[in-house]
């Protein structure tokens, strides 16, 4: 990781507002894909080979590889696409394809460039997210990043709000390496956020979709917050079945090929913006704002700012 003083001040402002309030929210049906057989080869839910055969999902994957992850080097994006395309034509299994992609990432002549491109993308992603969040939240007295991962986003916020003396705590169910010396990392030991932990702001960034009972975790965050406290959720807005296939395949690409984050259940249970909003309201929150921070991304991320009512 490169040394950065306060990257949040350095630009990257691409936040776009969708609207001030969601108002009434309707639940929409969440269709979940099951295992499928195709030409005798069983593909997992979220197979990259299935993505390649789905016109809409393939376009989204190419956009992500060429314009996002490997934007610095189209040759690498091309190699990824060629490998997936060949596996699809040769009717390989997902396991065989992941092995080939891992060889590309770790052992091939391209491996150094791929590692660098992926790490650049990660650094940019972490900085961009921290900036977007700092734009949303007033400096709190205590911020708890629930499902913090390696605490890099929490760490950047701690640096950004240093003059406000914001205390930042990173919480995770897994013992993640803490990559910031600016935050305290705590592992959740008993399957739930400790009831004596209180905060006036909480983050839930790309966490809820990994939970089989997201309403339970939302309830714990609600309890942790002081009256009037804010929670900021980041999720992706799931649309049709091509979206769902694309997201599940991305999980496999991210966690089985590019990154090792043990303990994260995949593929995750993605939902639509309306469904997440409904869940938040049912947990007692008021939805204050919904933001589309990267409107051109095929991943369709959104931020939802929630408030625990004062009384």
Could you list the residues that contact ligand SAM (CB under 6 A)?
Answer: 146-149, 153, 171-174, 176, 188, 205-207, 210-211, 217, 263-264
Q: Residue 156: helix, strand or coil by DSSP?
A: helix
Chain center to CA of 68: 14
290's CB contacts (< 8 A; 6+ apart) are 18, 19, 22, 273, 277, 302, 303, 304, 305
**Least separation, in Å, of the C-beta of 42 and ligand SAM?**
26
* Residues 6 or more apart whose Cβ sits within 8 Å of residue 233: 204, 205, 208, 276, 280, 303, 304, 306
For residues 271 and 269, give the distance between their C-alpha atoms in angstroms, rounded to a whole number.
Answer: 7
Strand, helix or coil for residue 246: helix
- Which residues face 303 on adjacent strands? 234, 291
Shortest gap between Cβ of 262 and ligand SAM (angstroms)?
9
Of residues 83 and 237, the one with the C-beta less far from ligand SAM: 237
Nearer to ligand SAM, 52 or 270 (CB): 270
Nearer to ligand SAM, 90 or 175 (CB): 175
CA pair distance 247, 33, nearest whole angstrom = 12
| Beta carbon nearer to ligand SAM, 90 or 215 | 215
Q: How far is the CB of 138 from ligand SAM (least distance, A)?
A: 20
What minimum distance in Å lies between the beta carbon of 146 and ligand SAM? 5
Q: Give 194 or 227: the residue with its C-beta nearer to ligand SAM.
A: 194
Query: Tokens representing 69?
Result: 């992850």
Closest distance between ligand SAM and the C-beta of residue 216, in Å?
8
Task: Give dist(CA 44, CA 301) in Å, integer.
Answer: 24
Shortest spacing between CB 241 and ligand SAM, in angstroms = 22
Nearer to ligand SAM, 88 or 155 (CB): 155
| 3-state DSSP assignment of residue 138 | coil
């Amino acid at each position: 990781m490169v040394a950065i003083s306060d990257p949040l001040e350095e630009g990257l402002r691409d936040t776009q507002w969708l609207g001030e309030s969601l108002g009434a929210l309707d639940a929409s049906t969440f269709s979940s894909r099951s295992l499928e057989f195709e030409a005798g080869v069983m593909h997992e839910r979220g197979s990259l080979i299935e993505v390649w055969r789905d016109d809409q999902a393939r376009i989204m994957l190419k956009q992500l590889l060429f314009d996002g992850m490997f934007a610095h080097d189209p040759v690498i994006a091309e190699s990824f696409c060629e490998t997936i395309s060949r596996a699809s034509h040769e009717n390989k299994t997902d396991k065989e394809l992941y092995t080939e992609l891992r060889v590309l990432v770790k052992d091939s002549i391209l491996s150094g460039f791929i590692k660098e491109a992926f790490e650049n993308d990660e650094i940019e992603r972490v900085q961009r997210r921290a900036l977007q969040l700092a734009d949303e939240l007033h400096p709190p007295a205590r911020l708890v990043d629930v499902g913090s991962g390696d605490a890099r986003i929490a760490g950047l916020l701690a640096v950004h709000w240093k003059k406000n003396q914001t205390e930042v705590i990173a919480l995770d169910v897994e013992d993640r390496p803490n990559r910031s010396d600016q935050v305290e990392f705590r592992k959740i030991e008993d399957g739930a956020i400790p009831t004596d932990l209180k905060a006036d702001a909480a983050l839930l960034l790309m966490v809820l979709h990994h939970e089989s009972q997201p309403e339970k975790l939302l309830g714990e965050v609600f309890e942790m917050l002081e009256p009037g406290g804010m929670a900021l959720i980041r999720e992706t807005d799931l649309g049709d079945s091509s979206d769902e296939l694309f997201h599940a395949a991305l999980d496999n690409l991210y966690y089985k090929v590019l990154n090792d984050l043990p303990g994260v259940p995949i593929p995750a249970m993605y939902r639509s913006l309306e469904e997440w909003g409904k869940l938040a309201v049912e947990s007692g929150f008021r939805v204050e704002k919904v933001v589309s921070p990267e409107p051109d991304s095929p991943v369709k991320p959104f931020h939802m700012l929630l408030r625990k009512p004062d009384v």
